[in-house]
Amino acid sequence: MLQAVRFQGAVLPGVRFGEDSPKPGANTPVNTPVSPPADSFKATHACKNAKRAGGGLKGHVLAYLAAVATTLGIGAPVVNNLNQGIHQNNTAITQGMNGLNGQLNGINNQLNGLKGTLGQMDVAGMVEQVAPNNVMVKGANGLGSGSWVRDTKGNLYILTNHHVVDGNSIYPYSDIPPTFKIRMYNGSDTSSATEVEAQVVKLPNGKFAMSDQSDAHDMALLAVTTPNFHLPANVKTIQLRDLQKEPLKVGEQVVVIGTPLGLTDNVTVGHISHIDRKIGLEPANIFIGTDAPINPGNSGGALYDMQGRFIGINTAGVRGANNLGFSIRTDVIKDVLSSWGVELQQ
């Protein structure tokens, strides 16, 4: 029987071509300047032209080789061979660096893969981060679970199932919006639970942010009404996984956190057994099938992937079956909330 589960760097030395003549003086004979050899002039001229053309260190080296070649009368083919050798060496160095970069990228990819594998194994580390987000939603006739969410405007809400709040207000008065006790345990410390009140959000159109007879989904949105309430520093609102960019995969490990049978912050672990189930209970919803145990009181709580990202609202289980549970997918959740005028932070 299928049932909802609310519970009841170097510089080269300068190259000098000739020495400066001493300055004329009283005791210094004035010599008639001797013109430098034509070849030396050519070498100096070639060097200056090459330097003027730029090229940095390589340009200076080539300029020096060109100047020496001109001075010594070395032909152009020899210079060309020198240039070709330098070019080949540069090419070999570049290729070697590219190969090294490729090896480093491969190592990085292997490290990232190992990190992902370790992340799959670190259930305790992930749970420690997200468990404080879980709350108990308690009404007059039963209880369920919920998760803290924040919209793009900074407003704080509690996301849960409709069947957790339907007919379960602690105040049986028609003029008071459905109201519930919200308990936060922030881990296993049940002796210092924080309790506040929250009401179903009233929309601009006058309706409440919860399913009614014309809806086929099973969701509700609450807001804390207790004055001066601030979310504790260790409690982080949920981070949604974008299923369009990163689709769910059958076999992924998942974690359920909730308050089954009133047991606070209870954790169960399983895998995704199906990614787009449709069941008779809520035909418009698309469910994630999971073998992580979902029991009465888990309704409205969070289903997380192993990176601690919210991927669904735990909604139903099959009594008598072995760990056959269903959670509303985040793409459906986002669509419903958007229809209520609420856009969640990513």
Residue 341 has pLDDT above 60, yes or no: yes
No. of H helices and E strands in the chain? 6, 13
The rounded percent of the chain whose pLDDT value lies above 70 is 70
Domains of the chain: 126-339 (2.40.10.120)
Span 147-176, average pLDDT: 94
Residue reference for tokens 């020198």:
82
Cα–Cα distance, 265 to 102 (Å, whole number): 46
State the pLDDT at residue 20: 39
From the centroid of its chain, how far is CA 203? Answer: 32
Segment 290-306, tens digit of pLDDT: 999 999 999 999 999 99
Helix (H) or strand (E) holding 128: helix 123-130
Q: Are 326 and 292 in contact (CB under 8 A)?
A: no
Strand ranges inside 55-193, DSSP E: 134-138, 143-150, 156-160, 179-184
Cα–Cα distance, 209 to 200 (Å, whole number): 6
**pTM of this structure:** 0.67
State the pLDDT at residue 3: 61
Active site residues: 163, 212, 299
State the pLDDT at residue 12: 36
CA atoms within 13 A on the CB side of 273: 14
Residue 59 has pLDDT above 70, yes or no: no
Helix axes 56-72, 38-52, angle to 10 degrees: 160
Cα–Cα distance, 241 to 239 (Å, whole number): 7
- Those residues whose C-beta lies under 8 Å from the C-beta of residue 247, and which sit 6 or more positions away, are 275
Burial class (CB in 10 A: 0-12, 13-18, 19+), 190: exposed
Cα–Cα distance, 268 to 255 (Å, whole number): 6
